[in-house]
Structure 1
Amino acid sequence: MKNNRLFRILYYVLGKGKVTAKELADKFEVSVRTIYRDIDSISGAGIPIYATQGKGGGIEIAEDFVLSKSFLSENEKQQIMSALQGLDSTTKQYDNELLIKLSALFKIKSSNWIEVDFTNWQNNKLHEKAFSDIKNAILSKHVISFSYFSSNEEETLRYVKPIRLLFKSQDWYLYALCSLRNDFRYFKISRMRHLEIQNQTFEDSFENLVLEKEIPHENTVKIKIKFDRKAAFRVYDELNGEISEDDDGNLYTEMEMPKDHNLYSYIFSFGDGVEVLEPKEVRIQIKEMISKMAEKYII
């Protein structure tokens, strides 16, 4: 079975259960006659694939068929093991039993050459439970509800159809269909509270839904910033734009950010090691906020 198309047909039929020759022909862009020749080749390799005629007929594989591990190359086996090592790191509720079993099946000694850990240094158990609950809701197609704290300082109760979990930059997000907005939305898991899995289920299929690669923001502003040298470790860690340096070691860059509370929270997180150079309106707002903060510390 040297022809890669035969493998693809095999995996496709395994996934679908039963397909027609025309469906396979359209999928792999060959003639129906070629598909039947391919089916004969697959059958000749010892795989119980067969075609039935008439209404409700089609091409299928015997239900008790198990794909032999010999169909996987050594490189493919290693890729599966590495992928599972990374997946296991998304939650700590499972042990490494599956990795041990596959290691024995593939006759591969599992080497810990990579460590992936999506949890933060605080080991937040609440975050871990939310991740697990959301994952279960996605797989079982249950509506979930939660209180959500948005970047514009609003708290709202949301009922959503969960679709997919996304790790973006340094945070986990849920992509879901929100009943409140009647639209698809990203929700940052760390901003969710009182998450509950509802009894209500949904039939919608979001399998082929393409997620937006950027989290949309309606109102953004481009700012020019100067950083003290002491903030260099964060600048190079967190900012991806072009960064220049003057003779004193100060760093300069431009960045576009949502024009909301997050903008000022991020700037203030650098303390006195940052100065916004432009635009003027942001400088004025920062000055007013500093004045208000100073009033709280009058002695």
Structure 2
Amino acid sequence: MADNRLFQMLFLLLEKGGTTAPELAERFEVSVRTIYRDIDILSSVGIPVYTVQGKGGGIFIRENFVLNKSLLSEEEQKQILLSLQGLSVLDDENTNALMSKLGIIFQKQNMNWIEMDFSEWGRKNEDVFHKLQGAIFKSKIIDFTYHSGKGQSENRSAEPLKLVYKSRNWYLYAFCQTRQDYRMFKLNRIKNLQITEQDFVRAAPDNVLGNTSRYTEETVTLSLLFQKEMAYRVYDEFDDVTEKDDGNYLAKISLPDNESLYRFLLSFGDGVEIVAPPQVRETIIMKINAMKNKYIT
């Protein structure tokens, strides 16, 4: 843990040029005395870190300092740059600048291993993403209006902890102060987002999706029979697929049991039949009849 903190401190100084001991102590959740001890360790291995007392003072690194590559193995250098490049796809200017600097230091080229296109969101949702990213990094409480899958709209206050990508959708994992519990919010349902000046200290868990005790949602397991003409969507949307002798497809999947489930099923039109469970089949029949009644004159 101490070694990891030392490297993070060093990269922070390379990026910003200078900071203060209280800022570092707050960031790493240690005492100011521990920070000064870390500075002594960095200095002892030849890294030109120095402190300046008084107004405008702080902890600095000598300008144009070049990191001794022997501090990190070849594999560690690559891993650092690969991780930073994974962040840079989110268009974070500071991350891109730091990655370029470290790339020069480590003399590594051709680290472009990932490319992502967020254009399908539209500019509005992209703006929400970057606002949430800033709120998470700065540990700021957010206020917003959320439109749930149950058709309800509510004002929420939350501590944003992590952005999560699952099943072709982005979510915000947060501690909801309104509900006093952990919640997963779908990004495209977050409206009127405001970042407050209130700080929070709650830490994000390491593995949100694998920790079911923090976040659970009731699911239903579906068996769906698709016409063969729907193959392009079947293989896009499902993992458990069996091709039948007649060319049609039987797909199985577990999905959250909410209103979004029925919108998803209806999006296949007459290309799907719900085989099981019976309660979902009955609900779909009711919805189809309700839709039909709207067009009866």
The answer to whether the superposition gives a TM-score over 0.5 is yes
Task: Tell me the residue number matched to 1:149.
Answer: 147
| 1:105 aligned onto 2:102 | no
The one-letter amino acid of 2:135's match is A
Task: Tell me the residue number matched to 1:265.
Answer: 263
TM-superposition CA deviations, 1:140-178 (whole Å, max 9, x none): 222101100111111100011111222223122111111
| 1:81 aligned onto 2:81 | yes
% same residue: 34
Task: Tell me the residue number matched to 2:22.
Answer: none
Tell me the distance in 1 between the aligned counterparts of 2:275 and 2:205: 44
Tell me the distance in 2 between the aligned counterparts of 1:13 and 1:221: 47
2:123 aligned to 118, 122, 125, which one?
A: 125
The one-letter amino acid of 1:81's match is L
Change beyond 3 A, Cα 1:18–1:205: farther
1:290 aligned to 288, 291, 297, which one?
A: 288
* 1:90–1:118 CA contact under 8 A, matched in 2: no
Superposition deviation, residue 193 in structure 1: 0.4
* 1:176–1:184 CA contact under 8 A, matched in 2: yes
Matches within 5 A, 1:170-185: 170-185=168-183
Task: Tell me the residue number matched to 1:240.
Answer: 239
Superposition deviation, residue 13 in structure 1: 5.4
Superposition deviation, residue 45 in structure 1: 6.3
The one-letter amino acid of 1:132's match is H
1:195 aligned to 180, 193, 204, which one?
A: 193
Change beyond 3 A, Cα 1:207–1:260: closer
Tell me the distance in 2 between the aligned counterparts of 1:10 and 1:283: 57
Tell me the distance in 2 between the aligned counterparts of 1:130 and 1:143: 14
Q: TM-score, normalised by structure 2?
A: 0.73
Tell me the distance in 2 between the aligned counterparts of 1:129 and 1:79: 29
Superposition deviation, residue 11 in structure 1: 3.6
2:276 aligned to 250, 275, 278, which one?
A: 278
Tell me the distance in 1 between the aligned counterparts of 2:258 and 2:73: 51
Tell me the distance in 2 between the aligned counterparts of 1:275 and 1:247: 17
* 1:224–1:255 CA contact under 8 A, matched in 2: yes
Tell me the distance in 2 between the aligned counterparts of 1:234 and 1:298: 31
Aligned-pair RMSD on alpha carbons?
3.3
Any stretches of 5+ residues in structure 2 without a counterpart? Answer: 10-29, 35-40, 49-58
Task: Tell me the residue number matched to 1:32.
Answer: none
* 1:103–1:110 CA contact under 8 A, matched in 2: no
Superposition deviation, residue 80 in structure 1: 2.3
* 2:222–2:276 CA contact under 8 A, matched in 1: yes
Change beyond 3 A, Cα 1:149–1:192: same
Tell me the distance in 2 between the aligned counterparts of 1:45 and 1:88: 30
Superposition deviation, residue 209 in structure 1: 6.4
* 2:223–2:277 CA contact under 8 A, matched in 1: yes
Tell me the distance in 2 between the aligned counterparts of 1:93 and 1:270: 41
Tell me the distance in 2 between the aligned counterparts of 1:280 and 1:164: 37
* 2:145–2:190 CA contact under 8 A, matched in 1: yes
* 1:91–1:132 CA contact under 8 A, matched in 2: no
Task: Tell me the residue number matched to 2:55.
Answer: none
Task: Tell me the residue number matched to 2:230.
Answer: 231
